[in-house]
Structure formats: structure tokens, C-alpha cells
Amino acid sequence: MISFTLEKEKISVYPALIPHAPVICIHTFGDDGDQIYRLLQNMDCPDFSLVAVSGLHWEHDMAPWDCPPVTESGSPFTGGADDQLSLLTGEILPAAEQYIPGPVLWRGIAGYSLAGLFAVYSLWRTDLFSRVASISGSLWFPGFREYILSHEMAGKPQHLYFSLGDREHRTRNPSMKSVRRNTEEIQAFFQRKGIDTAFRLNPGNHFQDAAERTAAGIAWLLDR
């Protein structure tokens, strides 16, 4: 594993062993990328490189636009996803791929919670990623479903994976309770476009088995 910093963010690169392997990018809390990578190494996946980005201001870097707090103790969202995506595609990935052997077979992006929202949103801003996994993605985000249904993607991805805990929508929060309906509608939107998609329900709430769920989503992308 190779680590470096770029602006405020820590980049951890887990290179493939051979050239012509895919690259998966994830935004993580702390050192979660290391746990996810170790889980994937035990899942007999095809060889790949993982680029884990941490040190984020989540309510800014992962949010597509400004939004007031959706919980009493929450922070406002301050729409920095476009800037983060420019940093990711223009600086982080080019720097990370210097440590990766040979040309890249394809690039994917995966994320949990707000990072899952960011991963889906990226498809409307860049055609760099051909495979996406949104795990317990915050697709409840106000206005996001409407945005998806009314705007054109930057490119057509090949494969998309969605998953949720089966209790995530069972909340009194008026915004977050829409997460399952929105996720199912967004998955159906991609299916209508002829894109290979999957939707998985996992037992538990939003905070259960985050690393294991993320590894399962990445493994699905790698096995297509």
C-alpha cells in the first residue's frame, strides 16, 4: 500500500499485481479502505487496484448542492461534490495511477452513505467511471431523485450496484424515510436504459456491516 496526501485528503493506493487491471475508487471514513481491501482479498476477486480517499468534510465534499440539515443535530450540506469530483478526476486518480502497473482496464467508483450518493452523482458529471456501486447510498438527498430523472448523464455506465439495509427506510425522519423508494426508482431508471443493475437488501439498519456491504458491492462490480 502506498499513501500520500493531496490538499487536505489522504490517498491510499493498493496496486494490482499485474497490468491491465481495473481501478476502483472509494471515499472512506478514516482507514476503512484498509479493512475493505482486506475483505476483498479474501473473496477471490479478480486482480484490481483500489484507491481510497479519506480526510473529507462529508457534508461538503459529498453533497451535490446546498441543503439545510435533515436532523436536529446535523450540519448543513454545502454542495462541494463538483469540486471534489474535479479534484478526484483531475489530480487524485492521475497521481494514484502512477503507482499502478500498466494501463487501466476500466475505472469504477463505490461508496457508502453520502459517498454512495456521490458515486451515483458522478455519472452526471464525468464519463470516467463505467461501473458504480452505491451501498446504503444517501439517495434520500432532497431533490436527487428528481435531478436523476430530469438530466442527461455524461456517459452510459456498464454496470451499477445498489444495496440497502432492510430497516433503513423505517425512520420517522421525513427525508431519510424515502431512501428505499428512491433507490428502487433510480435503479429502475437505469434498467430502462438497458444498463446491467442489481439491488440487494441486507439485514439491519444504516450502520450495520458497512465494510462488509461495501466489499460485496465492489466484488459484484469486479465479477461482471
Looking at the predicted structure, is the pLDDT value of residue 179 above 80? yes
DSSP class of residue 124 equals: G
pLDDT tens digits, one per residue of 191-209: 999 999 999 999 877 778 8
- pTM, 2 dp: 0.96
Are the beta carbons of 159 and 195 closer than 8 angstroms?
Answer: yes
Q: Which domain holds residue 158?
A: 2-222
- How confident is the model at residue 80, as a pLDDT? 98
pLDDT tens digits, one per residue of 112-158: 999 999 999 999 999 999 999 999 999 999 999 999 999 999 999 99
State the average pLDDT over residues 87-94: 98
pLDDT confidence band for 76 (50 / 70 / 90): very high
Domain count, the chain: 1
Rounded CA separation 57/29 (Å): 10
| Residue 74's CATH number | 3.40.50.1820
Rounded CA separation 162/107 (Å): 17
> Containing H/E element for 2?
strand 2-6
Rounded CA separation 136/206 (Å): 7
